[in-house]
Amino acid sequence: MRPVRAALVVTAVLGGLPASAHEGATTAFAHIVVSGSAVRYSLTLADASRIAPASPGGTDLEAFAQAVRASVRLTNDGTPCAPAPAQLVPPAASSLSATVVVDFACRGAVRRLRIRDDLPDVLGADLHTLAKVEWPGGTGQFAFAAESREASFEVGADAPAARGAGSFFWLGVDHILTGYDHLLFLLVLVLGGGGAWSLVKIITAFTVAHSVTLALAVLGIVTLPDRFVEAAIALSIAYVAAENLLAKQALSRRWLVSLVFGLVHGFGFASLLREIGLPPGHLAVSLGAFNLGVEAGQAAVALPLVWLLMRVRGKPWEPRVAATVSAIVLGVGLTLFVGRVAFA
């Protein structure tokens, strides 16, 4: 009964755990429109509550708007573009998002646009800004982050399909490594997965499944409400952890469980790319780079984990440790599920 008690204790004490899969990271969306010598930069912060309060009574959105103006710099063929005063669109009563608009005036028609984004210095190193750039006859995209702050676009012609692909690869890596719910699911999935061949089938099924639904969701073929997806992901963690505790031995059908819940996790991976609305002409490359990043991040976690499990298989204390870990993860999964259902 000790593992069960551990699950109940964890469920009781983790009430403050973030309800969202990527609560530790900050996501912003930039829409950049080029028209002649003018450039309109619109930044939407998905959760304005992340801005540090200026006083106990509220959030200093005006100061944030000016910080955006100072942190984003544009140049046209090496010549700086002049920013106008920032315009703030405060969050609606039913929304947490806030939008800042800055109009830039460049010297002459924009031909070679270079964007420098230092917003991680304002909102933290975990910020990712997914940017879509539009100009007459062409579009481009880039994922800005603390380690990738600059991007260039040849305006006047359609951008090469590979532009920005590297940034989406690293976005995928970061998305899986900071998505603790996906990692917890992977942990309990392989913890009760049996031998090496069984683990290979489990991880392969999960990879194939989430790759399929990631593509379907980003392409707009199949979409599900984010609240439903987040709750289902939490439930998948709790279910597999509970299965580990109740099963007497490794389950031969665990790969099927991995396949089914992998479909759900793929919709979770797609949430970021759906928000940016990737241009159709560049969708395949950006989507492929993001998915490769997710797989690389997953492999970085799964391979050492599988190696460790193979080393401890057969040890007399291995079942007890596996049960305790599963119980703790069960508590986390139930906490996440309740939080995502109750506060959605």
Q: What percent of the chain has pLDDT over 90?
A: 31
pLDDT for position 11: 40
How many Å apart are CA 8 and CA 308, to the nearest integer?
A: 27
**Can you give the pTM of this predicted structure?**
0.67
pLDDT for position 343: 67
CB 120 within 8 A of CB 127: yes
Return the DSSP state at 316: T
How many Å apart are CA 96 and CA 131, to the nearest integer?
A: 20
How many Å apart are CA 286 and CA 135, to the nearest integer?
A: 19
Return the DSSP state at 94: T
pLDDT of 281 above 90: no
pLDDT in tens, 50-66: 665 443 444 577 888 88
How many Å apart are CA 242 and CA 188, to the nearest integer?
A: 9
Nearest to 217 by CA among 290, 172, 148, 271: 271
Distances, alpha carbon 202 to alpha carbons 41, 75, 78, 191, in Å: 44, 49, 51, 11
Instruction: Burial-class residue 32 by CB neighbours within 10 Å (0-12, 13-18, 19+).
Output: buried
pLDDT of 193 above 50: yes
How many Å apart are CA 32 and CA 139, to the nearest integer?
A: 10
CB 164 within 8 A of CB 151: yes
User: What is the SS3 assignment for 118?
Assistant: coil
CB 236 within 8 A of CB 181: no
What amino acid occupies position 320? R
Topology of 26-160 in CATH?
Answer: Immunoglobulin-like (2.60.40)
pLDDT band at 178 (very low <50, low <70, confident <90, very high): confident
Per-residue tokens: 166: 């590297």
pLDDT of 9 above 70: no
CB 270 within 8 A of CB 147: no
How many Å apart are CA 301 and CA 60, to the nearest integer?
A: 39
CB 207 within 8 A of CB 265: no
